[in-house]
Structure 1
Amino acid sequence: MAAHLETREIKALPVLPYADVRKTLKSGDLLFTSGDYLVSKAIQKVTGSPWSHVGIVFRLDSVDRVLLLESVEDMGVRFAPLSKYLLDYEDRKPYKGRAVLARCSDVNDKVAAGLAAFGIDELTQPYDKDEIAKILARITLGIGKKEKDREYICSELVYECFAHAGKEFAYNPKGFISPEDVWVDQKVELVGRVL
């Protein structure tokens, strides 16, 4: 993308049929969401971004599935069907917000395998519930720094997967990585909005 988007610009993107976009997805693609949930709004406010979540897409053609590797508040690191966002995110209703898919231009099969290997090794690791407060302290007070651990907010998981596969995204100068920091990377380009 290499360019910040406002929520109104995301809302103006046409919503493409998932069935059409699904055919074009590749392992290593990225899902970005701009949620209307309370936690989503807090993340957006703290980071100054419309994005509240990011995850990595994986195709499993042998079983005709598209999965999302993500770290979520209530479960930590998991794989979930990407279609869950569109059909049954909560109580058989779609995700409340907007969802776009993007592609990192330099992901090949070797990089995708590296992303998957690291991500699978981190399955069930906890969500880093304290990290959002720590990010807020780094932004507002200029104190603290990220400590390496095996607890992840969504963007940390994406960062670590890509770093272990030999492709890094730039950390925010204030000492954290957010969905926005991944979005504005020059290698990332929009595939389409699906929600």
Structure 2
Amino acid sequence: MSLTPRTFPLEPTLPYNQALRKRLQTGDILLCSGSGVFSDLIQQATDSPWSHVALIVRLDAIDRILLFESVETFGVRTVPLSRYLTDYEQGRPYPGGLAVVRHRTFARVSSAHQIQRMLQFAVDHFGNAYNRQEIVRIAARILGNSLQAPLSQGKDASLKAFICSEYVAACFEQAGIALAASDRGYVTPADFADPRLMDLIGVLQAPT
């Protein structure tokens, strides 16, 4: 199956049924190719269709597949993966393409203790909300780097919010997996589509 930072996979869409749910694991990634002002900004700045990324968490005890994510409208939150396919907003599915990928070494490298630490870190940041000033700062940071501004030195510690890829990368770091920042100086959604690191599990929804 094809996966690249520059194109959306051409594989057929898989039904989100029980068989696919059984394949999903904690640590898998949902990659999104969305629309809208903030999505367009990220896509233009990174020359990539990928605009959003979320961490997949499997909770067998309650039979749920959840997404841990940071979104500009709510901040850090969790929602069922199924919501993206049926009721992302006002009864409509997510406005764009959806694909699930898996880090090739996550299962081998990350111990049970590290995964627990990752989930604790992820949950501890629930409710960290964006405000308008932070959205502007994040947008300026992305746009500035895309226009050949001096590279940032990673995430600004004074920021109280993550962009989506920073949040997932920080979670991965707790699990013992460090994702190198791109030449822009920060981790982007496109970095989670690197075929040297990730395998495509399947396409859940084609781009609109």
TM-score by length of 1: 0.91
Does 2:196 align with 1:186?
A: yes
Q: Distance between the aligned counterparts of 2:52 and 2:71, measured in 1?
A: 9
Match of 1:18 in 2: 16
Q: Corresponding residue for 1:170?
A: 180
Matched residues in 2 for 1:47 and 1:5: separation? 9
Mind listing any 5+ residue stretches in structure 2 that lack a counterpart? none
**Counterpart residue number, 1:42:** 41
Structure 1 portions without partners, runs of 5+: none
Shift in CA distance, 170/144, structure 1 to aligned 2, threshold 3 Å: closer
1:152 to 162, 170, 175: 162
Q: Matches of 2:194 and 2:139 in 1, distance apart?
A: 20
- Give 1:103-118 correspondences, 5 Å limit: 103-108=102-107, 110=112, 111-118=114-121
Aligned match of 2:5? 4
Aligned-residue sequence identity (percent) comes to: 36
> CA 1:160–1:86 in 2, change beyond 3 Å: closer, same or farther?
same
Contact 1:170 1:182 in 2 (8 A): no
Instruction: Map residues 97-108 of structure 1 onto 2, 5 A cutoff.
Output: 97-108=96-107
Give distance in 2, aligned partners of 1:144 and 1:173.
Answer: 8
Gap change, CA 1:2 and 1:36, over 3 Å in 2: closer
The equivalent of 1:31 in structure 2 is 30
SS at match of 1:18: coil
Contact 1:134 1:144 in 2 (8 A): no
Question: Offset of 1:126 from its aligned partner?
Answer: 2.3
**RMSD over aligned Cα, in angstroms?**
1.8
- TM-score, length basis structure 2: 0.85
Q: Distance in 1 between matches of 2:123 and 2:40?
A: 29
SS state at 2:123 partner: helix
Q: Structure 2 CA distance, aligned partners of 1:59 and 1:162?
A: 15
Q: Give 1:54's aligned residue.
A: 53
SS at the partner of 2:23?
Answer: coil
Shift in Å, 1:173: 1.8
- Structure 1 counterpart of 2:149, one-letter code: G
Q: 1: CA distance between counterparts of 2:194 and 2:106?
A: 16
In the TM superposition, 1:65-80 aligns within 5 A as 65-80=64-79
Aligned residue among 111, 119, 122 for 2:122: 119
Q: How many residues get paired? A: 192
| 1:4 and 1:180 in contact (8 A); partners too | yes
Letter in 1 for 2:122: G
Describe the SS at the equivalent of 1:43: helix
Does the 8 Å contact 1:31/1:54 carry over to 2?
yes
2: CA distance, partners of 1:174 / 1:117: 29
In structure 2, the residue corresponding to 1:99 is in which secondary structure? strand
